[in-house]
Amino acid sequence: MAQKYCKPNYFNTLLTDFIALLYPEICIGCGNVLKQSEHLICIACSLDMPRTYYEKHRNTPIEKLFWYKTDIHEATSAYFFTKKSRIQQMVHSFKYRGNKDAAFVLGEKMGIILKESPRFNQLDCIIPVPLHPKKMKIRGYNQAEILAQGVSSVLDIPLELNTLKRKNHNNTQTNKGLFNRWTNVNSIFCIENPQKIANKHVLLIDDVITSGSTIEACAQQVLTVTNTKVSIATLAIATG
């Protein structure tokens, strides 16, 4: 039987090219127009991400944030967060410009980094730092949760979203003294359904770590549950 001849759909190809011409996909790091083979991040930015390599070393700045405070099993940040850098642009794209996909893709990059490190191969579940409900309303999603989805997809470890909760009544942290800010942050999280994480090694995920006080408050809540261990991974660490 003669093979059926399939006419190439030139119209669809032309239409796709025309739309791409009108609305070109822009790199979330440098703002340059992406090539067809690139997705969200151009090759130049991918090759020039400001990696910390903290997962390969001990006594790193992120570990030091928790010394003498909270018993953290392992802690790492994938990239340095510096002002006006590509990574800042990338974080802004998912934090302020609604680009959810950017958070997922960067979460996948975190996952690949963690997967290659033997220090992070004993995890049981992943918990993103919960977002304040007001911010959730404005943004429509929790960026830490989308990052965590990316990490989860690479590590093949489940997310646990029904245990660590943020209470509603926290006010903004600005214009408060250091002590008030500390007590404030320490009373904004709580645990529901503790049985879901009992005896588990939990990986806490957040986007950018600065003082570490928010993620420390989360870790302390998780550690109130029987026989839990906590490790931490953030996309970036703010330095200087």
Residues within the interface to Zn ion (CB under 5 A): 27, 29-30, 42, 45
* Residue 51 DSSP code: B
* Residue 187 DSSP code: T
- Nearer residue to Zn ion within complex by CB, 27 or 144: 27
Strands (E), the chain: 75-81, 125-128, 164-166, 189-191, 201-209, 229-238
Report the distance separating Cα 142 and Cα 102, nearest Å: 13
- In the block, tokens 């999280």 appear at 189
- At closest approach, how far in Å is the CB of 4 from Zn ion? 43
- At closest approach, how far in Å is the CB of 49 from Zn ion? 10
- Nearer residue to Zn ion within complex by CB, 46 or 170: 46
- Nearer residue to Zn ion within complex by CB, 48 or 116: 48
Cβ 31 vs Cβ 99: under 8 Å = no
- At closest approach, how far in Å is the CB of 81 from Zn ion? 17
- Nearer residue to Zn ion within complex by CB, 42 or 146: 42
Contacts with 54 (C-beta within 8 Å, 6 or more apart), sequence order: 60, 61, 62, 63, 75, 76, 77, 237
Report the distance separating Cα 200 and Cα 23, nearest Å: 46
- Nearer residue to Zn ion within complex by CB, 11 or 23: 23
- At closest approach, how far in Å is the CB of 47 from Zn ion? 10
- Nearer residue to Zn ion within complex by CB, 29 or 128: 29
- At closest approach, how far in Å is the CB of 28 from Zn ion? 7
**Cβ neighbours, 10 Å, residue 20:** 13
Q: What is the DSSP string of 129-171?
A: PPPPHHHHHHHSS-HHHHHHHHHHHHHT--B--SSEEE-S-PP
- At closest approach, how far in Å is the CB of 24 from Zn ion? 13
